[in-house]
Amino acid sequence: MDPGGPGGRSRTVTATLEGITSSTPPLREAARAIVLDADDRVMLLRYDEEGGFWATPGGSLEDAEDYATATLRELSEELGIDEKAVELGAHIAERSKDHLVGDRQVRQVEKYFLTRVSAADVDPARASQPDNIREHRWWTVAELRATAETVYPLGLADLVTGVLAHGAPVRPVVLAG
């Protein structure tokens, strides 16, 4: 879920400089998937929080979990996709953003993985943790560019366009907050 959801690893960093103490928000690591189907449509999930927004599937890492494993788990939990039906692709993007999760401020660091699935593999009725998801929808790149609705991550249409035209980037693209 974007921007966040319950659970996940977090740690608070406190720095002291000449007697002044400042805290940065706890770190929340999150894994996200940019899910494409055979028609190059992108799967997004709609949430009502913060005035409503659409986001890629994903969520926070659990204890001792790596990003790839968390991505597969989140696809199962949010989209009802059998993990065995998913071949996780390249790590194509990253984003870091401070925001509220529940009622606390966190610094979320996200890693985005490209994955392709059959549209038939997505079955929200099998989702084990639908969180506050209000809707699932496949979007074309043209629809992403034309919408007035809020879509996270910012720049998703450009990222997908680049991947479709040139393949996965050599190094993950850094996305705007």
For domain 31-92+110-171, give its CATH number from 3.60.150.10, 3.90.79.10, 1.10.3720.10, 3.40.50.1100. Answer: 3.90.79.10
pLDDT at 41: 98
Please write the tens of the pLDDT for every residue from 57-92. 999 999 999 999 999 999 999 999 998 888 899 999
User: 36-40, 41-45, 48-52, 107-111: which has the minimum mean pLDDT?
Assistant: 48-52
pTM of the predicted model as reported, rounded to 2 decimal places: 0.83
Torsion of CA 125, 128, 134, 138, to 10 degrees: -60
3-state secondary structure the chain: CCCCCCCCCCCCEEEEECCEEEEECCEEEEEEEEEECCCCCEEEEEECHHHCEEECCEEECCCCCCHHHHHHHHHHHHHCCCHHHCEEEEEEEEEEEEEEECCEEEEEEEEEEEEECCHHHCCHHHCCCCCCCCEEEEECHHHHHHCCCCEECCCHHHHHHHHHHHCCCCCCEECCC
Mean pLDDT, residues 121-147: 91
pLDDT at 6: 35
* Confidence check: pLDDT of 19 > 70: no
* Confidence check: pLDDT of 38 > 50: yes
